[in-house]
Amino acid sequence: MTPSVFLAALCLGIASAAPKLDQTLDVQWNQWKSTYKKVYAANEEGLTRAVWEKNMKMIERHNQEHSQGKHGFTMAMNAFGDKTNEEFRQLMNGFQSQKHKKGKLFHFHEPVFGHIPTSVNWTQRGYVTPVKDQGSCHSCWAFSATGALEGQMFRKTGKLVSLSEQNLVDCSRPESNNGCSGGLMDKAFQYVKNNGGLDSEESYPYTAKESRNCLYKPEFSAANNTGFVNIPPQEKALMNAVASVGPISVAVDASLKSFRFYKSGIYFDPACRLAVNHGVLVVGYGFEGTDPDKNKYWLVKNSWGKSWGADGYIKIAKDRNNHCGIARAASYPTV
Ligand SMILES: *[C@@H]1O[C@H](CO)[C@@H](O)[C@H](O)[C@H]1NC(C)=O
Ligand SMILES: *[C@@H]1O[C@H](CO)[C@@H](O)[C@H](O)[C@H]1NC(C)=O
């Protein structure tokens, strides 16, 4: 490379590091940084701000369209505002769908009662712990699994005890989970069965980092399961299970920006795919308005903290062709 070519390349690099910024957003940018305690090196702030501005404008455009009746949900800036799509995907999607075994649908019984209610909310009935935050570890699968097991333990014992995701992250490698690189809820249930217990959150707190040392202590075990049940991949079957069993582990496609910045209303994005990548917990279902056959949703607990979505929850469109693949990998532990 001749010196002049080298210089040109270097100058381009500098030019792209100083993108044009919209100064009318200065106040909001500074507020956002302090809200989410973000600190950037001087040489990376410009590029990061440009990504944030792009997200901010996309959100504003979406909400304007929402006010014109074009969308059924709103979006809002949140902690993920400085991430490009690619960075976000790398950060968040921990459900290893390629490993989710198909055809292992056993022991699922239709509920014994004939009447399925038009709405269910297990959070209201004490089955669900407060929203948790997985941080930057691909451990969604562990949060989905503890959520389902917390619910089944409550059903059995009448006591709601928060369970340890870290226990699953650190210890379920023999069941072929991958710690902070992803895993499956069913493998987590398998671990609890093989291990003969799962520690409480309090005794084995979450660090958002994986340790190769398993620190499980049987004396702090707060849950057990005898195995798990995979639900047939249809929304009707999922509805029956939610109504008759309790909170259910599911996986969805959470890779779209519309999902990342969801705030309120019923989430529906035609671009959402059936290829699932994120483990979450269905804690109920229902409908908005007065007609139980319209505006139906799944009530879903996420693990991205309380400041994400509707206090950590999202309503996903129900009975609209298995939106975001919600019924594709549903299961629950048997206790
Ligand atoms: C579900 O119940 C919780 C707890 O009572 C409540 O805060 C929430 O608004 C309910 N969600 C829906 C969609 O009814
Ligand atoms: C879980 O099951 C094992 C084996 O049956 C038992 O030793 C243990 O006490 C149980 N733990 C809890 C919390 O129920």
- Catalytic choice (140, 171, 180, 324): 140
The burial class, CB within 10 Å (0-12 / 13-18 / 19+), for 11 is: exposed
Residues with a CB atom less than 6 Å from ligand 1:
121, 123-124, 286, 299
CB 327 within 8 A of CB 237: yes
The pLDDT of residue 98 is 59
Helix (H) or strand (E) holding 298: strand 296-301
| 230 annotated active-site | no
- Catalytic choice (62, 71, 138, 278): 278
CA separation for the pair 25, 89 (Å, rounded): 26
CB 225 within 8 A of CB 152: yes
Residue 163 backbone phi and psi in degrees, to 5: -110, 160
The pLDDT of residue 91 is 72
**Percent of the chain topping pLDDT 70:** 89
- Catalytic choice (100, 138, 302, 324): 302
Amino acid at 306: K
In sequence order, the 6+-apart residues with CB closer than 8 A to the CB of 269 are 256, 258, 259, 324
CB 253 within 8 A of CB 272: yes
The residue whose C-alpha atom lies closest to atom 7 belonging to ligand 2 is 196
Q: Which residue has the tokens 């210890």?
A: 171
The residue whose C-alpha atom lies closest to atom 3 belonging to ligand 2 is 196
Beta-carbon count within 10 A of 64 CB: 11
The DSSP bridge partners found for residue 296 are: 287
CA separation for the pair 197, 220 (Å, rounded): 9
Expressed in angstroms and rounded, the spacing between residue 272 Cα and the centre of ligand 1 is 25
Ligand nearest to the CA of 123: 1
Residues with a CB atom less than 6 Å from ligand 2:
196-197, 221-222, 224
Ligand nearest to the CA of 119: 1
The residue whose C-alpha atom lies closest to atom 14 belonging to ligand 1 is 121
Give the chain's mean pLDDT: 90
Read off the DSSP letter of residue 188.
H
CA separation for the pair 259, 71 (Å, rounded): 13
pLDDT digit string (tens) for 5-19?
Answer: 444 434 443 444 456
Expressed in angstroms and rounded, the spacing between residue 194 Cα and the centre of ligand 2 is 11
Paired tokens of 138: 């691909």
Expressed in angstroms and rounded, the spacing between residue 70 Cα and the centre of ligand 2 is 52
Beta-carbon count within 10 A of 173 CB: 16
The DSSP result for 244-273, as a single string, is HT-SEEEEE---SHHHHTEEEEEE--TT--
The residue whose C-alpha atom lies closest to atom 4 belonging to ligand 2 is 196
Ligand nearest to the CA of 224: 2
| 302 annotated active-site | yes
The DSSP bridge partners found for residue 316 are: 267, 298
pLDDT digit string (tens) for 107-164?
Answer: 455 554 567 999 999 999 999 999 999 998 999 999 999 999 999 999 999 999 999 9
pLDDT digit string (tens) for 235-265?
Answer: 999 999 999 999 999 999 999 999 999 999 9
Can you give the pTM of this predicted structure?
0.90
| 171 annotated active-site | no
